[in-house]
A and B are shown apart, each in its own frame.
Chain A
Amino acid sequence: MVELTINGIKVQAPEDATIMQAADSVGIRIPRLCKYKDIHNIGACRICVVEVEGARNLQASCVVKVRDGMVVHTNTERVRMARRIIYDLIISDHPKDCMGCFRNQNCELQKLGYDLGVDEYRIQGERREKHVDISPSITRDTSKCILCRRCVTACRDIQKVGAIGTQNRGFQSVVSPSMGLPLDTTDCSMCGQCTVVCPTGALSETFHVNRVWKALADPSRRVVVQTAPAVRAALGEPFGYPCGTPVTGKMAAALKAMGFDDVFDTDWGADLTIMEEGTELLHRLTAAVSGKEAVLPMITSCSPGWIKHIEHAWPDDLGHLSTCKSPHTMQGAMIKSYYAEKLGMDPKDLFVVSVMPCTAKKYEIQRPVMGNNGIPDVDAVLTTRELARMIRTAGIDFCNMPEAEFDAPMGLSTGAADIFGVTGGVMEAALRTVHVLVTGRPIPFDNLHVTPIVGFEQIKEAEIKFENVLPEFAAFEGVTVKVAVTSGLAGSDILLKDVHEGKSPYHFIEVMGCPGGCIAGGGQPRTEVENFRELRAKALYSEDEGKTMRMSHENPAIQQLYKEYLGEPCGERSHHLLHTTYTPRGFFNERLNDPE
């Protein structure tokens, strides 16, 4: 620990702390802009400069480390003047069209101006050219970019994708894919982590709001909505609920109030996914234990950002992916076949909206394989952030309305489905069901939680030994299944390297594209809460534990589906409607032209 003085206050701080961290610890909040939590400190915006006695220049407090005996002043005339000028400089190269910007009142640049007491624009000059790049998932407007480079850190350093970087020099600097290429021609996974960290309106999901309003206004269409598990854990935040408050009932009520004809839960689709994916795993394992050829490890396919990433980064290893569609596309496919038949409707007249914590799902629904007879499984994907805005637009008093339930039949789900939204959850849900199918007994973990794979470490692993198996699974007696779980694309690359080299010791791997899983997805509300992942995960685990049925195969609506429509898991109809294929791409999309 070192001792320094900030604004006359003696402060104890760890040796590797920054001046800003030391100031934060005693309630001195130095204004800041480019810094993002503990993951991005590059001293680019210079807003957080402070006076350090003995230093010739002002120091950026987000990057300069404390020293014993340091004397710091954070609020002098010199410092305030510098911050004002720097702020003026930043907005001199910004459109300042806040009224027409989707980040209005939710913009860090705008808020900073308020905090700094800005009351006029004093510096004017040339602005960079406006360039808007609309990809299926992410929209970039470079004119609003302040070059804080949080997005670059998210993409290059956290996800280790590196689809965007700083291009050009000086005033012409711009964050962009190399050569100024459009994002959807690059190896961008569409995970949307860049849109979560962007402080301004430069990066956003590509909005589907208007197409949803339009469908809702069209009397000839039945508009069906489904909501992913992670949405309920975060939708409350934009309405002032503390981070980690589950708002399932409010959400269902709001969706009904907005005019959706059916309000379904993607948890139902998650239970269905476990039936298909668990069966697929058992098929592969059965083949392996009986000496037949089987591609192992099998890897989960619920996360479309991860799917696009593997197609770019590991195009030779696509055989390891489960052929299952993701839960919301499975559910979309069932809505437009099974449910349409029940309703006696032409699937063309159904409009399926998925509310997702994810931006990549916007990309996913327009893949040609995500449909049947030319009809897409899902017609629009709203992020949690978009839904929150639509609820406001609809004039719904979210906090004060009575709670409601999801509609039948696709609103019924088990606890296993809730935890699909957090890293380790898909694996745990699968193991809960697979263990029962093989041994007839629940998985031998406290409260059904496979503890080694719960938590936020980059790579987690567990071993499950099958003992006293049911007669039809005699070949599994004494077999130990090794599983691994990772979230974030950086972790996926670590596991895939071994898979690619044939050295992977695992049978089953769960990958979620965003660090922490869907609760921290690219479509989730932006938050300043440091431990937001833990809090949102807790919300999902509490949903799981609050349910009477906690294993997917117990879901009576799913059992009914198999009985009435699909026959058996991984059967002929499933194969046709619920399973998919993948496309080798390569880093530069060079494999797209490969002959099949």
Chain B
Amino acid sequence: MAKYMRRLESVSDLEQVKQDFLEETSNYSYTVIVCGGTGCISSHCGEVMTALKKQYVTRGLREEARIIESGCLGLCALGPTVLVQPGNIFYVNMTPEKIVQIVDKHLVGGVVQTQYTYFDEASGEHIPCMDDIPFFKDQIKIALRNCGSIDYDSIEEYIAHDGYQGFVKAVTELGREGTFEELKKSGLRGRGGAGFPTGVKWESGFRQPGEQKYIVCNADEGDPGAYMDRSILEGDPHSVIEALMIGGYTIGANKGYVYVRAEYPIAVERLQNAIEVARGFGLLGKNILGTGFDFDLEIRIGAGAFVCGEETALLNSIEGKRGEPRQKPPFPFQSGLFGCPTIINNVETLANVPVILTKGAEWYASYGVGRSKGTKVFALAGDIKHSGIIEVPMGIHMRDIIYTIGGGIKNNKEFKAVQSGGPSGGCLTKDHLDVSVDYESLSAIGAIMGSGGLIVMDENTCMVDTARYFMDFVQDESCGHCVSCRIGTKRMLEILQKIVSGHGEPDDLENLKILADVIKDTAMCGLGQTAPNPILTTLRYFRDEYEAHVVDKKCPAHVCKDMLTYEIDPDVCKRCSLCSRNCPANAISGGKTEPYHIDQDKCVRCGTCISHCKFGAIHIR
């Protein structure tokens, strides 16, 4: 929280805040940044922070070092993480004991504690400086520029990093038309998945006649494994507030809403604090910075429906109605919230806006390829070594994301597939590893950029079961409005359940394809239209796996339990009885004289016998 509130009356007041902050912090020798992202919170960064603060007081470092809690640093797999500046020394897997040593030896003693820094498996060496670590090296942080580098709770620090200057530039220099032009030139497109050009959208909002208009931030991030928007809200809430102010100013809205899902309590709390502080500073409210522009923001918390990430369902939800999509057209820019022209942008899109205005469209457009400019934030998850949040320039190859930044597949297994775009996206194979990651290239191969979830799967993943998982999710989250989605996804799920349970019939694959095509063609909203994508892409790229399930009644990845047979090779079995004694189902019998044998009717396919057998005598067929 800001140390004190002061109402800024003018642009020069804003400049003064920046100068004050820079002056105040210029005396510190060190800045210690403790990652306060949700990932690190769940790995107990709070204890690390407490130990750090205690030791720092004990060692009398108040004048020497500045300690802050930041948003997500990105490498969630190695949390809690701590960054020490200068030098960008990146400490991982922190504990209270380790942090005490870092205070004593690094901050006081001036010696970097290399043994606690990032360990690079490839070279077999520690890499202390963040900038040299492969995970960070190829990243370009624009939307995440402040996440992990500033105190999310300090409006002064945000301002010191040119915060709220984008708004000033829009109002005092560019004007509405200039801002639209700048955004159009930058090539910024919607990061929520659809990829609509932001400048064009805002301009349409402005051109639409209407007394009352609204700007809405869509922070209802719901894809499994995705948390890009959460990271931004937790790490840099002011960038979203500033972007909404710019949007409000340009389209002519003096009221904005941020729609956040209830499952993001930390993001909600930090954003709420940031809004209150911004209000206290006069950056929200009447006559902002003396420009005559009035604007305020309100948070609306969702009730946990995935479909409310669809923009018109989101509007219904804000209005207090059932979260169901509306027929488009009319599009929200024509008739949105409470029937008024409304512009809706995703969190990441908005986070890009202020810096595009301050640094210029050319700078932003220098990143990316073709019609996909700038960067994209991804959440790396699944069977990947370095799961976490990354931001990469558009056009990077999937291979670089997975192998260079992500560090490859966990436990040195084989890569099998990556799901891009969540339940609406598609599964890509190793043949696609050299595809350029941009809107057009991904949709050309049946996947989508989506909001940025990347789920990496290794050789032990069953693609039929994966399709079943996504269909289960979509079916659960269908709003129930249209037949295609409400019943269609249910029937597709039933067919998949039938296949993974070993009861698949040859017709099922054809029926699945017919259903998927019709549902894609007829569903009312984006959720339903994209719901069949995981099935369509896995059918396309992993058809042999489906056929193995249906024809041979085998799951090649040994995932679908109903199709597995555990067998003991009598020639290898030493009759030690370990398997039999540990079997929870009493399914294994045998003795010194007779070979051990698994009763298939009793076997629950839990795999306990395999993990206990010391001789490799048990096989899955």
Please give the residue numbers on chain A whose beta carbons come within 8 Å of chain B beta carbons, in ascending order.
42-47, 49, 57-58, 60, 63-65, 78, 81-82, 85-86, 89-90, 92-93, 123, 125-126, 146-147, 165-166, 168-173
Contacts and interface: CB of A to CB of B under 8 A. Distances in A.
Given A85-B514, A170-B475, A171-B478, A125 B483 contact: no
Contacts of B327: 42-43, 60, 63-64
Contacts of B480: 147, 166, 168-173
A171 B524 contact: no
A58 B529 CA distance: 11
Interface stretch (B289-297, B487-495, B536-544): B487-495
Contact of B487 (A49, A60, A89): A89
27 contacts: A42-B327, A43-B482, A43-B524, A44-B482, A45-B482, A46-B522, A49-B521, A57-B520, A57-B523, A58-B521, A58-B522, A60-B524, A63-B327, A82-B522, A85-B514, A85-B518, A86-B484, A90-B483, A92-B491, A123-B491, A123-B511, A125-B490, A147-B486, A166-B480, A169-B478, A171-B486, A171-B490
B489 A46 contact: no
Interface in B127-163: none
Contacts of B484: 46, 86, 89
A64 B327 CA distance: 8
B543 to A, nearest CB: 22
A82 B515 CA distance: 9
A159 to B, nearest CB: 18
Given A46-B482, A92-B491, A171-B487, A81 B524 contact: no
A45 B488 CA distance: 12
B125 interface: no
A78 B486 CA distance: 21
A170 B520 contact: no
A51 to B, nearest CB: 9
A92 B477 CA distance: 20
Given A43-B524, A57-B529, A165-B322, A173 B486 contact: yes
Contacts of A58: 521-522
B509 to A, nearest CB: 15
B320 interface: no
A85 B514 CA distance: 9
Contacts of B329: 65
B487 A93 contact: yes
A82 B484 CA distance: 10
A44 B494 contact: no
A514 B515 CA distance: 42
Nearest to A89: B487
B305 A57 contact: no
Given A166-B322, A169-B477, A86 B522 contact: yes
B521 A42 contact: no
Interface string B307-351: 100000000000000101001010000000000000000000000
Given A123-B491, A125-B494, A169-B476, A45 B483 contact: yes
Contacts of A60: 327, 524
B607 to A, nearest CB: 30
Nearest to B481: A44
A90 B518 contact: no
Nearest to A94: B487
A305 to B, nearest CB: 25
A170 B476 contact: yes
A166 B522 CA distance: 21
Nearest to A170: B478
Contacts, number: 100
Contacts of A165: 322
B192 to A, nearest CB: 18
A173 B475 CA distance: 11
Contacts of B520: 57
Contacts of B524: 43-44, 46, 60
Given A44-B483, A147-B480, A147-B486, 11 more contacts: A44-B524, A45-B482, A46-B524, A57-B523, A65-B329, A86-B484, A86-B518, A166-B322, A170-B478, A170-B486, A171-B486
Contacts of A63: 327
B489 A170 contact: yes
Nearest to A165: B322
B600 to A, nearest CB: 28
Nearest to B324: A166
B479 interface: yes
A168 B481 CA distance: 11
A47 B484 CA distance: 10
Q: Please indicate which of the listed interface residues B476, B488, B515, B521 has the most CB atoms of chain A within 10 Å of its own CB.
A: B521
A165 B480 CA distance: 12
A66 to B, nearest CB: 12
Nearest to B529: A57
Contacts of A146: 483
B529 A92 contact: no
B482 A125 contact: no
Contacts of B324: 166
A240 B475 CA distance: 44
Nearest to B322: A166
Contacts of A126: 490, 494
Contacts of A171: 475, 478, 480, 486-487, 489-490
B479 A89 contact: no
A263 B169 CA distance: 85
Nearest to A146: B483
A63 B521 CA distance: 16
Interface in B504-532: 511, 514-515, 518, 520-524, 529
7 A-B pairs with least C-beta separation: A173-B480, A170-B478, A89-B487, A85-B518, A171-B490, A63-B327, A46-B522
A81 B477 CA distance: 26
A50 to B, nearest CB: 11
B495 to A, nearest CB: 9
Q: Please indicate which of the listed interface residues A60, A92, A169 has the most CB atoms of chain B within 10 Å of its own CB.
A: A169
A146 B483 CA distance: 9
Contact of B518 (A82, A125, A172): A82
Contacts of A92: 487, 491
Contacts of A57: 520-523, 529
A42 B490 CA distance: 21
B132 to A, nearest CB: 46
Given A44-B481, A169-B476, A49 B494 contact: no
B271 to A, nearest CB: 27
Contacts of A82: 518, 521-522
B520 to A, nearest CB: 7
A163 B514 CA distance: 39
A93 B488 CA distance: 11
B482 to A, nearest CB: 5
A170 B483 contact: no
Nearest to A174: B480
Interface in B392-450: none
B491 A89 contact: yes
Contacts of A147: 480, 483, 486
B348 to A, nearest CB: 25
A386 B401 CA distance: 69
B521 A78 contact: yes
Q: Please indicate which of the listed interface residues B478, B488, B529 has the most CB atoms of chain A within 10 Å of its own CB.
A: B488
A126 B488 CA distance: 12
Interface string B491-505: 100100000000000
B483 A42 contact: no
A147 B482 CA distance: 9
Contacts of A65: 329
A125 B490 CA distance: 8
A437 B419 CA distance: 83
A172 B478 CA distance: 10
B78 to A, nearest CB: 37
B500 to A, nearest CB: 16
A86 B521 contact: no
Contacts of A43: 327, 482, 524
A165 B482 CA distance: 15
A147 B490 CA distance: 15
